[in-house]
Amino acid sequence: MVEISAAMVKELREATGSGIMDCKRVLAEAEGDMGTAVDLLRKKGLAKAAKRAGRSTSEGLIYSYIHTGAKLGVLVEVNCESDFVAKTADFEAFVKNIAMHIAAANPAGLLPEDVDSSVIEKEREIFRAQMLEEGKPENIIDKIVDGKIEKFYKDVCLMSQQYVKDPQKTITEVVKETIAKIGENIQIKRFVRFQIGE
């Protein structure tokens, strides 16, 4: 049995932001292996995050981000459960990062239902014309177009976009990780992106 030192607990706590007892418990479970302990904490945290997802979010922040040169700006509302969490550095940093992601990735909406139907119809027409041009059989074109529309949604909907600061994760995964870290449900409620000339 590996002895879990206070220094090990401190190191894990600083790396993950988890509670002392949680750090002690997973270090014991991982027999002192720091990497395994981090993985265990993440799994436990994400499981807790899933439970928190149904809780009411009536506090939060509206954050404005103006890109250098003042030709691009974002307003985003992100909600949490308590005013206390809304004022924490972790929550504020998360909201700022989401605003910067929106500035960079230019999502068309939060979720598929937020994307204007005229945009989807236009994309469908373009994909259909491409398939006909490639000589695809008429009877499979609709299935191919449906698949391309699903991929289009993933690219243009904020929650399914790859996070610009870590493309291995989607925004949904980043939200879940943040819920696990701060211990409250978080919801990106709405956003608007302004660009000169658009």
Note the pLDDT of residue 45.
65
Q: How far apart are alpha carbons 76 and 79 in whole angstroms?
A: 10
Residue ranges covered by each domain of the chain: 6-52, 59-110+157-195, 116-156
Across 177-196, average pLDDT = 90
Environment class of 94 (CB within 10 Å of its CB; exposed 0-12, middle 13-18, buried 19+)? buried
Architecture of domain 116-156: Orthogonal Bundle (1.10)
In this predicted model, what pLDDT tens digit does every residue of 95-125 receive, in sequence order? 999 999 999 999 999 988 888 889 899 999 9
- What's domain 59-110+157-195's superfamily in CATH? Elongation factor Ts, dimerisation domain (3.30.479.20)
Q: Which of 94, 92, 65 is nearest to 192 (CA)?
A: 65
Specify whether the CB–CB gap between 85 and 91 falls below 8 A: yes
* CATH code at 6-52: 1.10.8.10
Q: Indicate if the pLDDT at residue 93 is higher than 90.
A: yes
Write out the DSSP string of 92-156: HHHHHHHHHHHHHH--SBSSGGGS-HHHHHHHHHHHHHHHHHTT--HHHHHHHHHHHHHHHHHHH
Across 16-25, average pLDDT = 74
Note the pLDDT of residue 115.
86
Note the pLDDT of residue 79.
93
The distance of Cα 77 from the centroid of its chain, to the nearest Å, equals: 14
Q: What's the pLDDT band for 2 if we cut at 50, 70, 90?
A: confident
In this predicted model, what pLDDT tens digit does every residue of 119-144 receive, in sequence order? 899 999 999 899 888 888 888 888 88
Q: What's the pLDDT band for 51 if we cut at 50, 70, 90?
A: low
Q: Sign of torsion, CA 1 180 67 65?
A: negative
Note the pLDDT of residue 34.
84
Note the pLDDT of residue 58.
74
- Residue % of the chain over a pLDDT of 90: 42
In this predicted model, what pLDDT tens digit does every residue of 154-180 receive, in sequence order? 999 999 999 999 999 999 999 988 988
Q: How far apart are alpha carbons 108 and 103 in whole angstroms?
A: 12
Mean pLDDT (the chain, rounded)? 86
Note the pLDDT of residue 57.
66
Q: Record the tokens describing residue 39, joined without a space.
A: 């993985």
Q: How far apart are alpha carbons 25 and 27 in whole angstroms?
A: 6
Across 21-31, average pLDDT = 83
Q: pTM of the predicted model, to two decimals?
A: 0.67
Environment class of 49 (CB within 10 Å of its CB; exposed 0-12, middle 13-18, buried 19+)? buried
Q: How far apart are alpha carbons 187 and 91 in whole angstroms?
A: 11
Q: How far apart are alpha carbons 112 and 54 in whole angstroms?
A: 20
